[in-house]
Amino acid sequence: MPGENAAIFSDKAALIYGGAKGIGRAVACEFSARGASVAVADLDLDGARKTAALIEAAGGRSCAIRCDVTSEASVREAAVRAEAALGPTDIVMNNVGGILHGNVEDIPLSEWQRIWDLNLMPVVRSNAVFLPKMLARGSGFIVNTASFAGLYPFAMTRMPYVAAKAAVVALSESMALRFEPLGIRIACLCPGPVMTGVMETMKTWSVGVEMAGPGGELAVKSVDDAARTLADGMERGRILIPTHEEVWATLAEHWADPDAFIRRKSAAFAAGDHGRPRPSAEQVAAMTKPG
């Protein structure tokens, strides 16, 4: 299917669950800039309206919809409203997520359920709505947002999130295997360090515990960088789309000898190297700006 680049976004209708801010907002604007009309669904209706207004101000077509992705009925209602406004949905992005921090022994079972309801089950609920429609017409594009945390071990203080994002990666790969021969494209965006507001709503369950990052060799990217990387990857026919190409070398090292990789990470953490990414050029400029 690679090679059908021009047809992916032009004159297509997209629905982004979780498009009120951050990566979701940037992706909504990027899809619009490439020719799609975009429905923005989010629990934060004001934020969704701001995203839609940005798209319309740039000459695009958009609508904002309130949606709670932990509710099957709300996910279905958002789909109905998006199609009423923009026509049959060609591209669906399942982008809602949430994070937490703490030692696994301190995290209650209710938090496991909450994190899975935010990071994995919205994909399942969305699939229940859109897969039958896409199968019936033999076309469509589903994009799921995962994380570097689901690709290799480092996020040991975010284990419910790790498990959910690893499940999104595995689910997306199996969906591609099953549905791409039937005309339905699948992509899985895997963000590494990207400047989003996800930490603002993070619950912390342990005191004095360091948060480990994906690696000091990685630089923090902007949400606009992430959005362009996703759209470019979709146009090139990629399935797993990381925000940082450097991750492929890390994954090769991991799978060459997982035991050795885990023990090297453990030794690095014990030595005080928590894998925090480098600030971006924009961040450095902001930090060194006079005044």
The pLDDT of residue 133 is: 97
Q: Say if CB 239 and CB 173 are below 8 A apart.
A: yes
The pTM of this model reads 0.93
**Average pLDDT estimate for 259-282:** 88
pLDDT, tens only, 189-228: 999 999 887 667 788 888 889 888 999 899 999 999 999 9
112 by Cβ neighbours in 10 Å (0-12 / 13-18 / 19+) ranks as middle
What is the per-residue pLDDT for 104?
94
Q: What's the CATH number where 150 sits? A: 3.40.50.720
- Report the alpha-carbon distance of residue 241 to residue 257 in Å, rounded: 23
Residue 15 near residue 93 (C-beta atoms within 8 A): yes
Cα 96 from Cα 110, distance rounded (Å):
19
Query: Which residues are paired to 62 by β-bridges?
Result: 38
Q: Cα–Cα–Cα angle for 223, 149, 123, nearest 5°?
A: 75
Tell me which of 287 and 235 has the higher pLDDT: 235
Q: Domain span at residue 60? A: 5-288
For residues 136 and 157, give the distance between their C-alpha atoms in angstroms, rounded to a whole number: 42
Q: Kindly report the length of the chain.
A: 291
The tokens describing 248, both together, are: 């492929």
How confident is the prediction for the chain on average, in pLDDT?
93
pLDDT at 200: 73
Closest among 167, 160, 174 to 120, alpha carbons compared: 167
Q: Which residue has the higher pLDDT, 2 or 8?
A: 8
| Residue 17 annotated as catalytic | no
Q: Are 195 and 281 in contact (CB under 8 A)?
A: no
SS (H, E, C) the chain: CCCCHHHCCCCCEEEEECCCCHHHHHHHHHHHHCCCEEEEEECCHHHHHHHHHHHHHCCCCEEEEECCCCCHHHHHHHHHHHHHHHCCCCEEEECCCCCEECCHHHCCHHHHHHHHHHHCHHHHHHHHHHHHHHHHHCCEEEEEECCHHHCCCCCCCCHHHHHHHHHHHHHHHHHHHHHHHHCEEEEEEECCCECCCHHHHCEECCCCCCCCCCCCCCECECHHHHHHHHHHHHHCCCCEEECCCCHHHHHHHHHHCHHHHHHHHHHHHHCCCCCCCECCHHHHHHHHCCC
pLDDT in tens, 55-85: 999 999 999 999 999 999 999 999 999 999 9
Q: How many domains does the chain have?
A: 1
Q: What is the pLDDT of residue 2?
A: 40
User: Catalytic pick from 40, 161, 172, 244?
Assistant: 161
Structure tokens at 152: 């290799």
Amino acid at 181: P
User: What is the pLDDT at residue 282?
Assistant: 60
Orientation of helix 109-119 relative to helix 159-179, angle to 10°: 30
In one-letter notation, the amino acid at residue 242 is P
Measured CA to CA in angstroms, residue 10 lies from 37, 235, 286 at distances of 9, 11, 36
125-177 pLDDT, tens digit each: 999 999 999 999 999 999 999 999 999 999 999 999 999 999 999 999 999 99
Per-residue pLDDT, 3: 41
Is the predicted pLDDT of residue 237 greater than 90, yes or no? yes
pLDDT in the model for residue 1: 41
pLDDT value of residue 283: 56
Least reliable range by pLDDT among 14-23, 200-209, 238-247, 259-268: 200-209
